A and B are shown apart, each in its own frame.
Chain A
Amino acid sequence: MAKYLLLKHYRGDHELAPGGIVPMDQWTPEEVSAHMAFMGHVADELRKRGEFVDAQALSPEGTFVRYDGDGKEPVTDGPFAETKDLIAGWMIIDVDSPERAYEAAAFLSSAPGPGGRPIKEWIEVRPFLGEVPAETE
């Protein structure tokens, strides 16, 4: 088993939706509910298969912070109103193979949007760097 981080992106340069996916507040309330319900459904399915580890939604706005020397306040930058790429949240799964991780990511990406059609948002799949296995010699 290996762990993967599935990062849920909203990309402004989505090739299927130039200019970005229609913001959720422009959907109907039923479409919003269906989308949210689907997210819960994906987590439930992964739980049933023993593959679910964690999922969190993120606030859309963040701040960049860095060290600026001893005794100084941290330097901050942002939040930025217009970003091409926004990370909406993540899910961590523990699965048998990269193929299975891609399958799960594609399932997550099939979440319905306006008109019940999949919005096909990008999911970035990042393998965790694991521990060195305790090998038996």
Chain B
Amino acid sequence: MNQLLRDLTPQVLGVLVRRGGDFAAAEDAVQDALLEAVQHWPDALPDDPEGWLVRVAGRKLIDAQRSETSRRRREVRDYQEPAPGPTEQDDDTLLLLSRCCHPLLSPASAIALALRAVGGLTTAQIAQAFLVPEPTMAQRISRAKRTVSGERFERPGDIRAVLRVLYLIFNEGFTGEVDLAIEAIRLTRQLAGSVDDPEVAGLLALMLLHHARRPARRAKDGSLVQLADQDRGLWDTSLIREGVGILQAALVTGRLGEYQAQAAIAALHDDAATAEETDWPQILEWYEELLRFNDNPVVLLNRAVAVGEVDGPLAGLRALDGLDADLPRRDAVAAYLHERAGNRADAARLYASAAHRATTTAERDHLTKQAARLNACHE
């Protein structure tokens, strides 16, 4: 029943907000309705659970608006019954998500609000996932709600902003009992089911194709395992199949975008039975495509790795020229290319420098061990 309630939450919220309800008030009303459902449904599950929730939440919203209004001595706001129907409901996920990913909100606030309002996670769960105290997260969410509550919204906003936030959630990964990667996949799947946009499909494919490798990404002691060293037998082949299928359907539309290009690169990695069989020339071509949509330094950095595989490490190092020395992971990529070029001393020095500036302990430990490995061979 909890899963059913979580699935229905965004739809019910969408209906109320679409009627012109205030976002924060609508969310409170939905929460109240969910509480009633938890109390009553175990005895008798309604024939139309969603209709039931919409009715109860709508009543709660009217009650709240009335008391609010009488408190402020204002007129009762007109409250229009919605024309119920599946056509509207399909867009609600996008509508709600774009509300949560409003440009006025910082990424951290957008993420929290999306997980709360659309993902249906509790504030405690979100706080736990981001390792902050629950009152801090509660404040972050209520500030975010206040920020967007003034604005009416009937039409979805920029879908790119939504995709960015979903991608950020996915990259938060798994820090505690809440698996944010799975939450992100769930939300993106929901969105892909309601919006016909090849980039939404591209993002979903990208997530699935990366997630498929997760079981191989960490060794038993928790240390990072590089793509080339991963046990490919641990990769989830059904996720890969699904991701490739979604990607192919998206590519057929001929409306290419950055997420499809990134997913194509991920698919080529997933497709190689061994690291040696990786189709680097095709990966490099996809990086060139990706650069048309997104020429940020991280893409250029990753492209340099592909250049190194296709045209040799010295060409890869040349591709690094002009990239900011402070760019995270630049030293790590340079170290890798130097080692392949036979410059072990330079590689060791660069790995140590990369470790010094690593942003996670797992990455720091991995890079320290790379430096240690080269230094140990040196002596």
Contacts and interface: CB of A to CB of B under 8 A. Distances in A.
A92 to B, nearest CB: 14
A37 B365 CA distance: 11
- Chain B contact residues, majority secondary structure: helix
Given A24-B368, A37-B221, A61-B356, A29 B376 contact: yes
A23 B364 CA distance: 13
B361 A25 contact: no
B245 to A, nearest CB: 40
B141 interface: no
Contact of A25 (B221, B223, B352): B352
B371 interface: yes
A59 B368 contact: no
B6 interface: no
B359 A25 contact: no
B352 A29 contact: no
A25 B368 contact: yes
Nearest to A36: B365
- Chain A contact residues, majority secondary structure: helix
Given A25-B352, A28-B376, A29-B376, A57 B364 contact: yes
A21 to B, nearest CB: 14
A57 B359 CA distance: 10
A61 B221 CA distance: 27
B373 A29 contact: yes
Contacts of B361: 57
Contact of A33 (B221, B352, B358, B359): B221
Contacts of A61: 356-357
Q: Which of A27, A29, A33 has the most chain B CB within a 10 Å cutoff?
A: A29
Interface in A81-108: none
B357 A32 contact: no
B372 A29 contact: yes
B243 to A, nearest CB: 33
B365 A25 contact: no
Interface in B316-365: 348, 351-352, 355-359, 361, 364-365
A32 B375 contact: no
Contacts of A31: 372
A8 to B, nearest CB: 13
A33 B223 contact: yes
B19 interface: no
Question: Closest 5 A-B residue pairs measured CB to CB?
Answer: A25-B371, A25-B352, A29-B369, A28-B376, A29-B372
Interface of B: 221-223, 348, 351-352, 355-359, 361, 364-365, 368-369, 371-373, 375-376
Interface of A: 23-29, 31-33, 36-37, 40, 57, 59-61
11 contacts: A24-B372, A25-B352, A27-B372, A28-B372, A29-B369, A29-B373, A31-B372, A36-B221, A36-B365, A37-B221, A59-B358
